[in-house]
Amino acid sequence: MQRLALLLLCTAALAARAELPERLSQTGLGGPGVRVFEPRFALWSDGATKRRWIALPPGTQVDAGQPDAWRFPVGTRLWKEFSVDGRPVETRHFRLAADGRWEMASYVWDGADALRAPARGQVLTLPGGRRYDVPSQADCMACHAGARSPVLGFAALQLGPAVPALMREGLLRNAPAAWAWQGPDFVAADPAEHAARGYLHGNCGHCHFDGGVPVPLRLALDVGRAPAPLEADQAAALLRRAGTRNPYQQMPPLGSRAVDAQGLALLAHHLNPENP
């Protein structure tokens, strides 16, 4: 049933794609009401640097009544730019339509503007021969549609210390009152655990949560709670999958051709503290 539901969502997203502009400059990026944000726990994308923006319709608010699954007003727009060697390569655009569907498209940079990529995705060859994968619409939906909220980076734990400012601006409703002076966080024993479990949340938690992929591994974090414990065999499997780019074994399964050596070292230190 989960696969069927995801297929239907992907089909709907593909049908909606024609409603999005052909050029990135036509999406509203750079216009009034667009704000920059930065998640604390970034998804590894083979070393690409990223910039992110969000725009809410005037007078609207994000519903934070479910602290770990924010709900966004119709008309919300988000952008994420990927740059390699200091040059923008791709910008992804998300827009929440009136019928509740998230419309998604990738734009490939060509000079001063970026053009919408094919729905099937695209493989680019960058200067120096490096390959770069622009995701298909189905790949986008595979990560976003099945998550607790389709918006992964603009969320309570991802924004953390930035949340009180959003509260003061009146951009959140139904949020815990304490967020007005203390940003949401999760319980960690020490900074090393906080960093490692935050990494897993940002890279794996959108699939591995209660109600997500049907495997007994919970890597999503919850506001105000300690991370779910990891058994020894789970930790070993996690390190093995994070440390390979065999397409049948790698995790995350999409969006990366290279192992994140720094992230892997962080996880190894946390999961095997006796082997620094």
Tens of pLDDT, residues 46-100: 999 999 999 999 999 999 999 999 999 999 999 999 999 999 999 999 999 999 9
How many structural domains compose the chain? Answer: 2
The answer to whether residues 118 and 252 belong to one domain is no
Residue 171 maps to a domain: no
Angle, CA of 217, 136 and 127, to the nearest 5° = 105
Q: Which residues contact 74 (CB under 8 A, 6 or more apart)?
A: 57, 96, 97, 98, 100
pTM of the model: 0.91
195 in a structural domain: yes
**230-248 per-position pLDDT tens digit:** 999 999 999 999 999 999 9
Q: Which range of residues forms the domain containing residue 262? A: 186-271
For residues 99 and 206, membership in a common domain is answered with no
Interatomic CA distance for residues 31 and 189, integer angstroms:
42
**Shared domain check, 198 and 141:** no
